[in-house]
Amino acid sequence: MTETRPRLWILLLASLSISACQPSTQDASPGDAANPADLVLQGGKFFTVDEAQVWAEAVAIKDGRFVYVGDNTGVQGFVGPDTDRHDLGGKLAIPGLVDSHTHPGRMGRGGGVSVPVGSGPRASLPRGGSKEEIVAAVEAYAQANPDLAWIEMGSWSADLYGVAGPHRRDLDRVVPDRPVMLGSVHSVWVNSKALEMMRVDSNTPDPAPGLSFFVRDADGEPTGWIKEFAAWPNAQHFAAVDPESNKEGIVTFLEYLSGHGVTSLLDAGNQNYHDLAYSLLAELEAAGRLPVRLEGSYHIYLPDRVPDAIEELQRLRRTYGGERLRFNTIKIHFDGTNEIRTGAVLEPFSDDPGNRGTTLLDTGQLRDFIVQLHEARIDLHLHIVGDRGVRIALDAVEAARRLVDGELYPRVTLSHLDIIDTADYPRFKQLGVIANYTPQWHGLGDRLPLTAATLGPRFERMLLVQPLLDDGAVVTFSSDVTSLRAMERANPYLGMQIGHNRQYHQQGEAAPIRLPMTERLDLEDLVKGYTLNGAYQLRMDDQLGSIQVGKLADLVVLDRNLFEIDRYEIHEVRPEAVIMEGEIIRGSLDGGAELRP
Ligand SMILES: [Zn+2]
């Protein structure tokens, strides 16, 4: 800090002497035509997300920042001979969007959440198929692909097999000589050959008992059902990732997001592939091909990664950090998934008495880690699905606040939040904890999800966001996409529609509604969660997130007004133009290029 101060003074003095030579610049008042803008947009409907002035007709942009936000008359004072000027013809414009939890680094990489390997193309299992149909599909696929080293298929539903889960012997019967890996929600079902290659047997310790572990039979032998991240330490020695396809996948995904108006995002975790993902992203930035600001993170998914995490994040920052690629966040997979009963819940899972799941750290351990983050000036992002996980995290933040001098530095975000105990809702606002959701999950399918069985009556109060909004807590929204196969789910207008309707979009109005109706969120709150609040989570709210004089000029001009169209058509809205720091990076402002993918 002291080292840079003299330089700062020199810069300040230099800028003072420059303005002294140019009195007209120094005297420039808003609307002074002697200080014209680079870009003027008028005749639009700007939803600014700035409480002081929610709507505006016109903006002026100079040197990448807004210098005027107001009406059509006022903006004329910023027009000079070289100003690029456009009339938006009444179109809606919103701030550049922030996707506050997604996974660009994982794109094109193969493998899943639970295992680092993939055999290449993953074949589908019969949707809703019986146990016999699934095993028959594996047998047929293995026979049709004799040269595949790994048989990788997905996905199967854990409710077919009850609490004990599936067994490797069913797969051994049809494929005894090659590894088989069947993906599902945060778990895999493998055969004996796969366990052998992963070097997993009855002596292998569980990396995080009760959270990331090998389901075992009465003799302690792994059954072949591997939950959460237990396979990672043992499977990495044969994990082969093709950097080229990873890079291609990252580019495809970022172009998709940018084409939809996302200008900033949080990368919420790359397991062991930080260096691979971030070297590719740094390469993109160096080549001028990184179309978004990307907040990178260090990912703690097993407890043994806690001690080095801060140092690792700082190393990533030193090695790969740039202008757009930044590193200020540590991500922890704090509990698991309620679908496979690894979430940390206050009351036992309804179909598994005695099992309340568990967290990666206890309250004291998380408190101490937060204090370390405070000292290192780093933010924290926690994956949490269970109400006990939420309670522990809030308790840890509360305890850490008491331990530090002054304000607690880390902005702590709890992500996913399937269930929150009623008593804990007000604590988000009280403790300044951010709540992150992926509204793309907030609809209801024809078939009740697995969580209806594991959570029981608690299913009725899943994903309740409105109480947090009513309290004035900071709520952010994101796409949480982990593979290219699901890329279209990263469409933020899809998230807005599902958050607004609590219905999936495919069936339109006829789709079942996830009750209660009071959880149909206002579009204004959704846009704020995708912009200003997202910028706050990424610690960029002083620079971004609203259309406000002095802020960086990130803008999305939309082809349709999402506040005025049919509530079932919002997912079809697309940008006509995306502007980042005053530059038109996508489409055009004259109704030219189409951005529909
Ligand atoms: Zn995620």
Distance CA 133, CA 157 (A): 13
Name every residue whose Cβ is closer than 8 Å to that of residue 11 and which is 6 or more positions away in sequence: none
* Cβ neighbours of 124 (radius 10 Å): 10
Rounded to the nearest angstrom, the distance between the alpha carbon of 14 and the centre of ligand 1 is: 46
- Distance between Cα 479 and ligand 1 center (Å): 8
Neighbours of 288 (CB within 10 A): 7
Distance, C-alpha 92 to centroid of its chain: 25
Q: Locate tokens 């078939």: which residue?
A: 447
Q: How many residues make up the chain in this entry? A: 597
Report pLDDT for 396.
98
Alpha carbon of 94 to ligand 1 centroid (Å): 26
Q: Which two tokens stand for residue 501?
A: 């309707």
Q: What is the DSSP letter of 510?
A: G
User: Residue 64 and residue 196: Cα distance in Å, rounded?
Assistant: 57
- Taking the CA atoms of residue 484, residue 489, residue 490 and residue 495 in that order, the dihedral angle to the nearest 10 degrees is -170
Distance 209 CA to ligand 1 centre (A): 21
How close is the Cα of 530 to the center of ligand 1, in Å?
16
Between CA 92 and CA 47 the distance in angstroms is 7
Strands across the sheet containing 379-384: 97-102, 262-267, 293-300, 325-333, 379-384, 412-416, 434-437, 475-477
Pairing of strands 325-333, 379-384: parallel
Question: CB neighbours of 245 closer than 8 A, spacing ≥ 6?
Answer: 108, 109, 110
In this structure, what DSSP letter does residue 158 have? G
Cβ-count burial 345-370 (b if 16+ within 10 Å, e if not): bbeebbeeeeebbbbbbebeebbbbb
State in Å: Cα 267 to ligand 1 middle: 9
Q: pLDDT (tens digit, 9 = 90+) per residue, 396-450?
A: 999 999 999 999 999 999 999 999 999 999 999 999 999 999 999 999 988 788 9
Nearest partner of 358 among 330, 379, 385, judged by Cα = 385
pLDDT of res. 555: 98
What pLDDT score does 275 carry? 96
Cα(486) to centroid(ligand 1), Å: 13
CA of 5 to the centre of ligand 1 (A): 39
Q: Are strands 325-333 and 475-477 parallel, antiparallel or unpaired?
A: unpaired
Give 157's Cβ-side CA count (13 Å radius).
15
- Please confirm whether the linkage preceding 516 is cis (ω < 30° from 0): yes
Residue carrying structure tokens 């945060």? 186
pLDDT of residue 379: 98
How remote is the CA of residue 300 from the centroid of ligand 1, in Å? 12
Q: How far is the CA of 416 from the centre of ligand 1 (A)?
A: 8
H, E, C per residue of 519-581:
HCCCHHHHHHHCCHHHHHHCCCCCCCCCCCCCCECCEEEECCCCCCCCCCCHHHCCEEEEEEC
Strand order in the sheet with 555-558: 55-56, 45-47, 92-95, 555-558, 575-580, 583-587
Flag residues of the chain having pLDDT under 70.
1-34, 111, 117-121, 237-239, 591-597
CA 261 to centroid of ligand 1, rounded, Å? 20
Q: What is the SS3 assignment for 144?
A: helix
Enter the pTM of the model.
0.92
**Contact in structure between 471 and 426 (CB atoms under 8 Å):** yes
